[in-house]
Amino acid sequence: MIRTAIPADVPVIHALIRELAEYEKALDEARATPEQLTEALFGERPAAYAHVAEDAGGEVVGFALWFLNFSTWRGVHGIYL
């Protein structure tokens, strides 16, 4: 199942980010903290949004974090996923 992330998902999103960074051999570059993610995703003015994928048992097994951008050259918005 895919659903919108909630604040309680931040620890697992953070862990998955770190797992990816370790796989990419760049763990030292993954500096985001759970507190920063919470503010970015759920603060007064969210800078990003996230969805999580759950397995049949309800365990979060993946996530997609995305944010909007705007091209001043093209005059259209886009999305980074």
Q: Identify the burial level of 13 via C-beta atoms within 10 angstroms of its C-beta, where 0-12 means exposed, 13-18 middle and 19 or more buried.
A: buried
Cβ neighbours of residue 20 under 8 Å, at least 6 residues apart?
30
| The predicted structure's pLDDT at residue 52 | 98
CA 40 from chain centre, in angstroms, equals 9
Say what the pTM is.
Answer: 0.90
> What are the tens digits of pLDDT across the range 66-77?
999 999 999 999
> What are the tens digits of pLDDT across the range 26-73?
999 999 999 999 999 999 999 999 999 999 999 999 999 999 999 999
* CATH code of residue 63: 3.40.630.30
Contact 34, 9 (CB under 8 A): no
Number of domains in the chain: 1
pLDDT category at 79 given cuts 50, 70, 90 is very high
Domain of 47 in residue numbering reads as 2-80
